[in-house]
Amino acid sequence: MAEFTPMIQQYLKVKSGYRDSFLFFRLGDFYEMFFDDAIKASKELEITLTSRNSGGEDRIPMCGVPYHSAANYIKNLVEKGYKVAICEQVEDPKDAKGVVKREVVQLITPGTVMEGNMLDEKENNYLASISQYDADIFAITYNDLSTGENSVALVNSGWDQVLGELFNRPIKEIVVSKELDKRYQYDLTERLQITLSYAESTEIEESFQSLVEELTDSRLKQAFGRMLTYIQSTQQRSLDHLKPVQTIELKQYMALDMYSKRNLELTETIMRKGKHGSLLWVLDKTVTAMGARKLKKWLERPLLQQTLLEHRYHMVEGFMAQFLEREALRDTLESIYDLERLCGRVAFGNVNGRDLQQLKLSLAKVPELKNNLKQFENKEVQALGNGVNSLKELHDMLDQSIVEDPPLTIKEGGIIKDGFHNQLDQYRDASRNGKQWIAQLEKKEKQETNIKSLKIGYNRVFGYYIEVTKANLHLLPEGKYERKQTLTNAERYITPELKEKETLILEAEEKSVDLEYHLFTELREQVKEFIPHLQALAEKISEIDVLQGFATVSELHDYNRPTFNNERQIKIENGRHPVIEKVMKNDMYVPNDVNMNEATDILLITGPNMSGKSTYMRQLALITIMAQIGCFVPCDEASLPIFDKIFTRIGAADDLVAGQSTFMVEMLEAKHAITNATENSLILLDEIGRGTSTYDGMALAQAIIEYVHDNVGAKTLFSTHYHELTTLDKSLDQLKNVHVRAEEFEGKVVFLHQIQDGAADKSYGIHVAKLAELPGPLIERASVILEKLEEPKTKKIQPTGILDDDQQLSFFVGEKKASGSEVATKSKADKQLQKSLKKINIMEMTPMQAMNELYRLQRLANEED
């Protein structure tokens, strides 16, 4: 340290407390970075890397960004998962004795972003924390600092459930203890790709105890304490907008594990990792940012309570029944700004005049919203308006105080209306009249001196002045003006009278600006008192928005209200996949029925590739999820049980980060399903076993089907290319074969995408290869090979004679006593069987291969009987 300049020593001292962050160190009009921060930032931000003298022998790396445009650079770093510590000058350089004092005033992290340009208005920005209490018991807490939302859940089924909870939620950062198992930390940073931060303290200050009053489990309080500790240490400002912590009772919601959320593409697609093409993309007909976030929360947690679902259906029905009234409601909602995040900005202290103007405009729409709801005949829709508080007092206060078009900055005046504060009006009057006097003085001086180009101007250094060009200096009366400044082509003067007015004007302007800022901060504190009411209003509006959105999308795409049954029956008439149907944008989509009564637990689906097996499976899951969030569903009619969990294994999704192959992922997902499913669950398994050899895969597929049938009893859709498995319907009572129709026409396959009872008769694999336009010679060669593989054996084994059912073949037990032609025939057949057996290498065969070979020999022997 001693070899560096005092300023660099100061930088290193501050940096030591923020080793995992970029330190934006304020120097004049720039935020500077040094050493490793500079090298890394220059690459990430694509800015020039320079160097500077540090007091030692070597120059040190350095880069910087202008403070007035730093927001975009900070956004860039935070979006990439980095943290940024803002170090400001906290004393006036004029008063500094030595190096100006600097301190970190804010730590901006991916999970604690508050700035509007860094937030997606339709998505929450969650900071999460994880606390472990036993081998399989974890507490997860969620906080959205931008809205003040807090929630906590207790997970008691192990780490996989934790990952399932975290996956597909907009979590940008996770706070853990440094003692958390390194394997778990690896999963969070590498598999979920979330920024990791640390906090050890779980204590909650007295001022925040009201947030956890409803929590009865001490573990949940401690878990929230860890998160709160981190928020306080990073933000160092008011957190008055934080809402009381809500407990998420996981047993009240459908369980969707990480695999199912990914495979079903509920909120983002697998390929593009974006909203377009997901179920959320189809369903989102909300018009407010609050509603969009609420919809995503509902989609993440489908309900299990039928009464709540029926309540939602009834309101959706009410909105659907009256199109014009619904459109009027949508227009009103569209004019309402993001109240949740406005509350956060008010509490955080970074609200400006335009934010308060947006708040006022939003509140002005609330009476209109209440009136919109009264126009509906549905009583439950009308009741939605009963709990809506228009907050007239707050609206009137803002209407009286804030100008219609306030500036962005709050420190340069122009925010407060005339007539709001008497002293401010006096200052403004003095300032305005003073400027009017200046204008009159300029006119008067022009007349007296006969200098038409004479003008009175102002700058921050010299104040007000009279400017005369050098060509007109001879016209000035001697001794009247006092020279102030000489320019190339002009002279600037002042007069005692002008100086006196300048003092009055500038003093009034300065005091006016200071008073406005003071009044604005007072107003902000008054608005803070309304935050709980504003948050409750936002909650109501977001719910109304989601329900009208359900009605809008249901009417647009011809969705219908589902019903629920307690008999574990699935009956869907003309069901459709909501996403594919929308993407096709025509009437080409082929709907299909799903019928699974009490006597059917498993549908074994066969059919060629590209025929629609996976689509059929997915559409059942999506219809189920839509039904259990309260939305109408894409079919003519649906009667469903309420599913407690959905498990899927659809598509090849290698988990290379975790070092797992496609087949290992298949087995892990299958194991997860069959060990966690109940008889009230839905399981979708697509082509299980295709990642290994044919016989291994077939054996595993059959064993899984049998296990689910005999031990789990869940409603299951199982698609396969192993046609041998279709015989299972003879031994498994609860299994039913269905297939996807395909027809061969002039050597080409035509996919009809229709599900019919029974097993498929062939796979059409080579036809699919033709559709993919593989080279002609390759297709021809494949056809020849297939023909050889399928041709029947021509050699017949001679009959060995009639044997009893419990009698073994003679080559195992020796010759049976016989006479004449019977013995000769039998001996010849035995020799042929022996010859066939000698060609088999039993030691290199799998159990399944051995069983198949034995079956072949037995079939040949029976043919000779």
DSSP string, 774-797: --HHHHHHHHHHHHHHHSPP---P
Is residue 237 very low, low, confident or very high in pLDDT (cuts 50, 70, 90)? confident
18 SS3 class: coil
The span from the CA of 362 to the CA of 333, in Å, is 9
The predicted-structure confidence for 651-671, as pLDDT tens digits, reads as follows: 644 444 455 667 787 888 888
Structure tokens at 601: 């637990």
The span from the CA of 432 to the CA of 509, in Å, is 9
Tally of CB atoms within 10 A around 224? 26
- Which letter does DSSP use for residue 174 in this model? E
Is residue 809 very low, low, confident or very high in pLDDT (cuts 50, 70, 90)? very low
Is 807's pLDDT higher than 50? no
36 SS3 class: helix
Q: Is 608 marked within a binding site?
A: yes
Alpha-carbon radius of gyration of the chain: 38
Which amino acid is located at 620 in the chain? L
Q: Is 278 marked within a binding site?
A: no
331, 358 contact by CB (below 8 A)? no
- Which letter does DSSP use for residue 30 in this model? E
Tally of CB atoms within 10 A around 556? 11
Q: Is 613 marked within a binding site?
A: yes
Tally of CB atoms within 10 A around 78? 23
Specify the residue for token string 């329900």: 547
pTM beyond 0.85 = no
Asked if domains 6-108 and 563-760 share a fold, the reply is no
The predicted-structure confidence for 221-235, as pLDDT tens digits, reads as follows: 999 999 999 999 998
Q: Which residue has the higher pLDDT, 841 or 30?
A: 30
Kindly state the percentage of the chain with pLDDT values over 90: 64
The span from the CA of 514 to the CA of 431, in Å, is 14
E strands, 371-510, in order: 455-459, 463-469, 482-486, 490-494
Q: Which residue has the higher pLDDT, 282 or 511?
A: 282
The predicted-structure confidence for 297-306, as pLDDT tens digits, reads as follows: 999 999 999 9
Architecture of the CATH domain 563-760: 3-Layer(aba) Sandwich (3.40)
**Cα 501 to Cα 27, 449, 463, 505, distances in angstroms:** 37, 21, 11, 6
Q: What is the mean pLDDT of the chain?
A: 88
Is 556's pLDDT higher than 50? yes
Q: What is the pLDDT of residue 665?
A: 77
Is 805's pLDDT higher than 60? no
Kindly state the percentage of the chain with pLDDT values over 70: 89
* 731-736 average pLDDT score: 96
The span from the CA of 440 to the CA of 430, in Å, is 15
The residues, any chain, with a CB within 8 Å of residue 752's CB and separated by 6 or more, are 590, 611, 740, 741, 742, 743
* 274-287 average pLDDT score: 95
* 600-609 average pLDDT score: 91
Q: Where are the domains of the chain?
A: 6-108, 116-252, 284-391+530-556, 422-524, 563-760, 795-864
Is 30's pLDDT higher than 50? yes
Which amino acid is located at 175 in the chain? V
Q: Is 585 marked within a binding site?
A: no
Q: Is 55 marked within a binding site?
A: no
Q: What is the pLDDT of residue 219?
A: 96
Q: 122 — phi, psi (to 5°)?
A: -95, 10
The predicted-structure confidence for 313-354, as pLDDT tens digits, reads as follows: 999 999 999 999 999 999 999 999 999 999 999 998 889 999
The predicted-structure confidence for 615-657, as pLDDT tens digits, reads as follows: 999 999 999 999 999 999 999 999 999 999 999 988 644 444 4
Is residue 865 very low, low, confident or very high in pLDDT (cuts 50, 70, 90)? low
Q: Which residue has the higher pLDDT, 311 or 788?
A: 311
Q: Dump the DSSP string for 520-585.
A: HHHHHHHHHTTHHHHHHHHHHHHHHHHHHHHHHHHHHTT-B--EE-SS--EEEEEE--HHHHHHH-
217, 249 contact by CB (below 8 A)? no
Tally of CB atoms within 10 A around 758? 12
Is 23's pLDDT higher than 80? yes
Q: Is 614 marked within a binding site?
A: yes
Sign of CA dihedral 10, 11, 14, 17: negative
Burial class (CB in 10 A: 0-12, 13-18, 19+), 46: exposed
The span from the CA of 829 to the CA of 294, in Å, is 76
CATH class, range 116-252 = alpha beta
* Residues making up the chain, counted from first to last: 865
The residues, any chain, with a CB within 8 Å of residue 28's CB and separated by 6 or more, are none
Task: Specify the fold of 6-108.
Answer: MutS, DNA mismatch repair protein, domain I (3.40.1170)
Q: What is the CATH number of domain 422-524?
A: 1.10.1420.10
Nearest 5°: the CA angle 645, 649, 650 is: 120
**Cα 594 to Cα 604, 620, 699, 754, 782, distances in angstroms:** 12, 8, 27, 11, 36
**Cα 361 to Cα 341, 342, 395, 469, distances in angstroms:** 15, 12, 8, 51
What phi-psi label fits residue 757: left (phi over 0), alpha (psi between -120 and 50 degrees) or beta? Answer: beta
577, 588 contact by CB (below 8 A)? no
Q: What is the pLDDT of residue 863?
A: 59
The predicted-structure confidence for 694-711, as pLDDT tens digits, reads as follows: 788 888 999 999 999 999
Give the DSSP H/E element, type plus range, for residue 73: helix 70-79
The least confident of 26-30, 547-551, 772-776 is 772-776
Is residue 2 very low, low, confident or very high in pLDDT (cuts 50, 70, 90)? low
Q: What is the pLDDT of residue 619?
A: 96
Name the CATH code of domain 284-391+530-556 (choices 1.10.1420.10, 2.40.110.10, 3.20.20.140, 1.10.10.10): 1.10.1420.10
Report the side by side order of strands in the sheet with 482-486.
Answer: 455-459, 463-469, 490-494, 482-486
152, 223 contact by CB (below 8 A)? yes
Q: What is the pLDDT of residue 345?
A: 92
The residues, any chain, with a CB within 8 Å of residue 806's CB and separated by 6 or more, are none
Nearest 5°: the CA angle 331, 332, 337 is: 110
Q: Dump the DSSP string for 335-390.
A: T---HHHHHHHHHHT---HHHHHHHHHHHHHHHHHHHHHHT-S-HHHHHHTTT---
Specify the residue for token string 């044997």: 803
Is residue 790 very low, low, confident or very high in pLDDT (cuts 50, 70, 90)? low
Give the DSSP H/E element, type plus range, for residue 823: helix 820-838
Per-state percent for the chain, helix, strand, coil, to nearest 5: 45, 20, 35
The least confident of 349-363, 614-628, 745-759 is 745-759
Which amino acid is located at 307 in the chain? T
Q: Is 681 marked within a binding site?
A: no
* 711-717 average pLDDT score: 96
Q: Which residue has the higher pLDDT, 508 or 295?
A: 295
The residues, any chain, with a CB within 8 Å of residue 778's CB and separated by 6 or more, are 769
Is 748's pLDDT higher than 90? no
